[in-house]
Structure 1
Amino acid sequence: MVTGTAGKTGADTALEAELRRLAGSVPDPELPVLTLEDLGVVRGVRLLGPTSVEVDLTPTYTGCPAIEAMTSDIEQVLRAHGMTEVSVVKVLSPAWSTDDISAEGRRKLDEFGIAPPRAHAADGPVPLTLSVRCPHCGSTDTELLSRFSSTACKALRRCVTCREPFDHFKEL
């Protein structure tokens, strides 16, 4: 549900749905294998006028340095499709979670050689140990090499079975 033109609350209009699809098609600047839709960070689109739009964008974490690039890329793609006024609003609540990554996004991460985060129930128990499947051979016999990798949202791991290192997108 989004707020449509003239403050009406309801389902996306056809144009809002198209603008949301366009904003969601922007590649993530840190993980270009994913789109912003795959990542689940585009939270809403509101048409404010015939060529004016507002987009709600939730960063993966409050200090995410990629938010500025995401904002700029969303503005660029929407302006290229006729929107003269584009406002991207950073929305911190509800906070983004790795559960917001789509099934397609998880599949893309795995195919790219990055172990996707595990989905978890919000009200379920939190595991004390983390079993991470190797995206190369499928083994769960992996070890942590570093809590941080090329970006703060990933850890560096190595598979004990095939000895290949790989990134793991950390659960939040």
Structure 2
Amino acid sequence: MPLGDLDGGESFSGSITLRIDPETPAGTFVLCYQLYADGGEATADGPTITVTNTPAEADLEVRLSAQPQFGILVPHRSYTLTTRNHGPDAATGVTLTATLPAGKTATGLSTGCTSAPGTVTCTYESIADGADAVSTFRLPIGLLDIGSVNVTAARTSSSPNDPNAANDSDGTTCAVLSIALADCA
């Protein structure tokens, strides 16, 4: 970039913005530069530049809530599984697994979720930074389903690294007193 004419002994200052290719390996590099003048050119080694590769991270928070739904024909508990990406990067290949009471199979599953006896698995292709992914499922309440019903949910896989494992799981308990009386906390 031309600076214009400088008188003998006159100085100049400026700034340079460097864009580093994301594929550049981590390391320390020396900035080299050239100055041209009527009398020739000068080449000099300048300051060193340190490139660090910050690994991508996506902090996923898992929340599980339940609400009893009573009906004449099909009483059930409705579960909502919410996954929030606190970033800073997008999360891909996200899999959450809810653990149900032994032998129970969920119904009314959201797209991307499957159920087998004792589990519900929900997968998401991608969750953007700051976005939520929400899935729902139901557990029928049978005539003999009396007592506490515990359901937990956890992130079982995602990419990139999740730096905060403390918020990767959640659970809820419902107290079922009868086919028409249940309370979830």
TM-score (normalised: structure 1): 0.25
Q: Which protein, 1 or 2, shows the higher relative CO under an 8 Å CA cutoff with sep ≥ 6?
A: 2
More helix by share: 1
* Structure of larger gyration radius: 2
